[in-house]
Amino acid sequence: MGFLGGILGGRSLDAYLLKARECLAAGDFDEALEAVAKGMERYPTAAVLRETGHAVRRAQARAGMQALRDRVESERDPEAFEQLIALYKDVGMVEEGIRLTDKYAEAHPEMEAPHLLRGEQALDAFFGDLRARDGRLAIDHLLRAGALHPDSLKPRLFLAEIYYAIGADRALLGQSAAIKRLAGEDEVIRPVVAALEEAAKPIKNESIDALLARVEVDGALVRDPSTWSARRRRGIAGAQDASRIQEGLGRVVREGHAEEALAIDRAGTLLATTNAPKTEGGGAPADDGALAGIARAVVKTIKVQARELEMGPFRRFVVEGPFGVMVVADASGGVVAARGKKGTDVLRLSERLAVAVDGVRGKKAS
């Protein structure tokens, strides 16, 4: 009866697809997304519906982008710049967003906003890959934003975050004093200032560039700013996360999404693995195995080269062959990898790996 009711009521999978595609062709994106959502309620495993939904959202974004691009080109309107930069960020067009922010700063050199946006972009890049030049760029733009708007709190909080993370304690105390002055008796900011002042141990002759370079070489922050910042910055940082990563990856294998899974930090150290020999005495996992070798190569070469060649942030590397598939995905500082049987859905496996790592970081997976 349910089957007949679905057909007679026009609720077959084909009916939902037809409705969504008709609305997409007509440019009615909201109606198209509603049709996809209703279809997914009834057919939650239908990959074709998911792909149709992605197509609708991409088309919706393109339509909005073109209108904003026209405003940017014709009017140099700050609001249009900021809306288009935000849209680029939402759809993962990182490099486009960076280029547009640079144009925004050139068009409106007197404004704080483009320098604040560019500083935040560079800050995100720094915490992702720990490259000294990203950190320097972030600091320069944030200092410029603060100079253009001396009473603005946000650039000073961002500066405090990077100074805290790299151990630039003399500069950190300077920003802490400014934050205290600007925030007054704010109940949220007061404990932040106290944490910064307690942590700082300033030295003479502090060199920001030298500290940034040391972080890049070491592949690790001096301190984790997520202890006081509202945003998690560590990603996969080191041994302190290993047991929780191990649990998340074990779940991926137990649920049948992969036959083996592991995580490697930005320095190439194997943090957790679900299927590798242990060292004598039951210690940490041995650093052997094809999957570990591929993941380590991705960390040290492909991930770095993608940034150096300005190809945008590394997302995923896939190897397929008679053995099945290997997936290596970005994990904000390191990588997480898995091996599955032949025919494994690569996107689904990547999604499960992301869920495992996001769970470690205390975030909901999207």
Residue of 185 and 326 predicted with greater confidence: 326
The torsion of the CA quartet 64, 69, 74, 75, rounded to 10 degrees, works out to 70
Distance CA 253, CA 143 (A): 47
- Residue 6 in this model has a pLDDT that exceeds 50: no
Is the pLDDT at 344 greater than 90, yes or no?
A: no
* Cα 36 to Cα 59: distance, rounded to the nearest angstrom: 14
**CATH no. of 111-227:** 1.25.40
Alpha helices in the chain (DSSP H): 2-8, 13-25, 29-42, 47-75, 78-90, 94-107, 112-129, 132-148, 154-166, 169-183, 189-199, 208-218, 242-254, 290-297, 303-308, 346-360
Among candidates 194, 324, 312, 331, which has minimal Cα distance to 264? 331
pTM over 0.85: no
| Domain residue spans of the chain | 1-109, 111-227, 239-360
Give the tens place of pLDDT for each residue, 326-341.
998 877 667 889 999 8
* Cα distance between residue 74 and residue 100, in whole Å: 14
Q: What is the pLDDT of residues 203-256, one digit of tens each?
A: 888 999 999 999 888 877 888 887 787 665 555 555 556 777 788 889 889 988
Q: Do the domains 1-109 and 111-227 sit in the same CATH topology, yes or no?
A: yes
Task: Pick the most confident of 4-13, 44-53, 130-139, 189-198.
Answer: 130-139
**Mean pLDDT lowest among 10-24, 91-105, 165-179:** 10-24
How many Cβ atoms sit within 10 Å of the Cβ of residue 9?
9
Q: pLDDT for 254-271, tens place per residue?
A: 988 889 999 887 777 788
Residue 312 has pLDDT above 60, yes or no: no
Contact predicate 262/288, CB 8 Å: no
User: What pLDDT is stored for residue 330 in this prediction?
Assistant: 78
Fold of 1-109: 1.25.40
Say what the alpha-carbon torsion angle 190, 120, 314, 342 is, to the nearest 10 degrees: 50
Architecture of domain 239-360: 2-Layer Sandwich (3.30)
Are 72 and 101 contacting, i.e. CB atoms less than 8 angstroms apart?
Answer: no
Provide the residue count of the chain: 366
Q: What is the pLDDT of residue 176?
A: 94
Find the distance separating the first CA and the last CA of the chain, reported in whole Å: 35
Report CA torsion sign: 160, 163, 165, 167.
Answer: negative
